[in-house]
A and B are shown apart, each in its own frame.
Chain A
Amino acid sequence: MEKLLLRNIEAPNSHTLELYRSRGGYRALGKVVRELSPEQLIGEVKASGLRGRGGAGFPTGMKWGFVPKDSPKPKYVVCNADESEPGTFKDRLLIEKDPHAIIEGTIIAAYSIGSHTAFIYIRGELVYGANVLQRAIEEAYRAGYLGKNILGSGYDLDLILHRGAGAYICGEETGLLSSLEGGRGWPKVKPPFPATHGLFGCPTVVNNVETLAALPWIIDQGPAKYAALGTEKSKGTKLFSVSGHIRRPGVYEVEMGYPFRQFLEQDCGGVPNGRKLKGVIPGGASMPVLRADEIEGVRMDYESFQAAGTMLGSGGVIVMDDTTCMVKAAWNIARFFAHESCGQCSPCREGCHWMEKIFSRIENGQGRKEDPDLVLSISGNIQGNTICPFGDAAAWPAAAFIKKYRAEFEAHIAQQRCAVLASE
């Protein structure tokens, strides 16, 4: 398969403007600012079928279309580079290896809504990535892709790189905006939505790194070519980050609809050390885990993962072999969410910690018979009742681990110790 998103990353100096341009970089931008009206551009992106790669999978062109054209307020575009979902490291690769694709995509997105100030919000820990991006932004300014009168088109855009300071919740788009406004990364109550009331109360579009990085290719090669890839509803290609008990971990670009089992066993080399697959989380830690027996026939697209009872999410594939204690894995994830809950709304603030405490107790031999059902109940009480999707993200995996590996939880509780690790 031809690589769209990872087309440049293996080239030496892939992060430089010179290399990027030598491979057709910024050609799409030239076309956009010289030949396309914002409406035409939105039309092209809609035609490509591109959906948001941050996790929710919302159609990108439609999202841009929600921004009011006649608003007298300034409009903003923010590239969400706050990649923090456990199991996900694809954006980091793009940031470090192909920053100009992200920058070009961000400029294109900004043009589509008539924005003159854009931001890249990068998680604070990625210092190296931030340096790469900052240098690339400076190169782009010098080359006339940013600043006043871009490529002689009369269109102006400033791009500001903004570093986060350590908070998973800032990956949620309104948490990100609160953070970018200089506040705590507290998600905002919706409505209103960012398209009309985003950054500083102005119309704002927030797009994920991978979404934006796909744009130059789509514009350059034409939306039809992109739409021809993938499935009917999941178009194009998607990056998957693979980690855990797998022979060849890393970032893979996969055409949507690719068979999941084949991907794990052949592309990634399968589970190493002669071990057997026990479970896999396909879309980052916030998505429900699949048992080994559940991946048969699953394809790597939004619809197929959903039909299997989980979600494509961020494409963070975490593989667990049969030495994995699922109680401990569930506890690990619950601890992550308890640590990262912003603490704003009651169900998430209290529920995440409650679940974490229960998992910790079970793992440490203090489980009670009623605990699995209690976790299911708490998870159900969080779901759908919180300010932002974080609540669901914390509740889903907790419930899934219990539902899928209930016997293991019950054994853990009955024996007051780990049966899996004890058998080692």
Chain B
Amino acid sequence: MAVEFSPEARKRFAAIVGGYPKKEAALLPVLFLAQEEFGYLSGEAIDYVAKIMGISAARVYSVVTFYTMLNMKPIGRHHIQVCRTLPCALSGAEKITAFIKAKLGIDVGQTTPDGKFTLSEVECLASCGTGPMMQVNDAYYENLTEERVVEILRVLK
């Protein structure tokens, strides 16, 4: 099946590209759009983005692999990203990660069998004063305790 933007996404693509003085500068926002559309950036998706951006697939591939927020593999519906950097570590991030691992029965880097959660450890998210913290998809959850984690995981559908 050919990977292609929906008509709606195509409009957004045109708007994104139109907003930049040079087309190549729009690559990151276009990749975000593609990731939103296709779930992750497969080889086909990268090839498609390269075509519509008028640059080589190799270049897009190079960019995708540089940034942590761009995924070349499918991930769970909720991407739990626990900060592991020093300020959060001082505030007990390790314990939170261990708790989530036990709770979900997966290791860091894994996805639950139902495809609901992927667990990652990430570097500093600029939330050092409110650690431990995690980001789930776009949202920050700060000042985490085990109780709060239970509550958050319960609410996430």
Contact = CB atoms under 8 A, between A and B. Distances in A.
Bind each other: yes
Interface of A: 74, 83-89, 91-92, 117, 123-128, 160, 162-168, 179-185, 200, 241-245, 249-251, 285, 316, 318-320, 324, 328-329, 332-333, 336, 339-340, 342
24 contacts: A84-B126, A89-B126, A89-B129, A91-B126, A92-B126, A125-B126, A128-B138, A165-B68, A167-B66, A179-B28, A182-B27, A183-B62, A200-B21, A241-B128, A242-B129, A243-B87, A243-B91, A244-B128, A251-B129, A285-B124, A324-B90, A329-B90, A336-B123, A340-B123
A212 B122 CA distance: 29
A318 B128 CA distance: 9
Contacts of B130: 249
Nearest to A127: B138
B123 to A, nearest CB: 5
Given A182-B25, A245-B90, A320-B90, A124 B126 contact: no
A243 B89 contact: no
A124 to B, nearest CB: 5
Interface of B: 19-22, 24-29, 31-32, 53, 55, 59, 62-63, 66-70, 84-87, 89-91, 123-131, 135, 138-140
B86 A165 contact: no
Contact of B86 (A83, A180, A318): A318
B79 to A, nearest CB: 11
A86 B63 contact: no
A76 B111 CA distance: 43
B56 to A, nearest CB: 12
Given A86-B124, A163-B29, A243 B67 contact: no
B29, B87, B123 pick with most chain A CB within 10 angstroms = B87
Nearest to A117: B21
A340 B70 CA distance: 15
Contact of A166 (B24, B69, B91, B127): B69
Contacts of B59: 183
